[in-house]
Amino acid sequence: MTDAAAGRRRKAYRRGHRGEWLAAAALMAKGYRILARRYRTKLGEIDLIARRGDLVLIVEVKARRTLVEAMEAIARESEWRIERAADLWLSRQPDYGRLSVRFDMVAVLPWRWPVHVENAFYGRR
């Protein structure tokens, strides 16, 4: 890998961390508790898992220039990986039976407060 490519990857990694931090702050301001960040399994990764009462949010964070670009950035294959990772996380929760799950997205846009999009995609449930 060239130095330029490594620099771009580092910059993208930092931008991703910053975006996830801003998204978590936006959700906490709405009364959600962040349960996990970058939850990784062999099946996939979830950017944020948040909860308020019995509602669990499985959140994909996208940092893009516009909301449309952020919405289009979630590919169907990504949704499947997120859903499988969510199934695994949920199966490990002692109160699994009473939880409601929603798949949301938070778009981190330049010079704006993050935009929380509810039901950005639907799980197989």
* pLDDT tens digit sequence for 63-120: 999 999 999 999 888 899 999 999 999 999 999 889 999 999 999 999 999 999 999 9
Could you give the CA distance from residue 27 to residue 23 in angstroms, rounded to a whole number?
Answer: 6
- How is residue 9 written in tokens? 């990857």
Domain encompassing residue 70: 3-117
Could you give the CA distance from residue 8 to residue 15 in angstroms, rounded to a whole number?
Answer: 10
Residue 122 lies inside a defined structural domain of this protein? no
Q: How far is CA 8 from CA 3, 22, 29, 30, in A?
A: 9, 21, 31, 33
> pLDDT of 17-55, one tens digit each?
888 999 999 999 999 999 999 999 998 899 999 999 999
- How is residue 3 written in tokens? 């130095």
Residue 101 lies inside a defined structural domain of this protein? yes
Residue 125 lies inside a defined structural domain of this protein? no
Look at residue 14 in the predicted model and tell me its pLDDT.
80
Residue 113 lies inside a defined structural domain of this protein? yes
* Closest C-alpha to 61, from 22, 94, 111: 22
Total of domains in the chain: 1
Residue 123 lies inside a defined structural domain of this protein? no
> In angstroms, what is the C-alpha Rg of the chain?
15
| pTM for this model (two decimals) | 0.89
Residue 124 lies inside a defined structural domain of this protein? no
Residue 97 lies inside a defined structural domain of this protein? yes
What CATH number has the domain bearing residue 43?
3.40.1350.10
Residue 111 lies inside a defined structural domain of this protein? yes
Cβ burial of 97 (10 Å; 0-12, 13-18, 19+) is exposed
Q: Do 67 and 113 touch, CB atoms closer than 8 A?
A: no
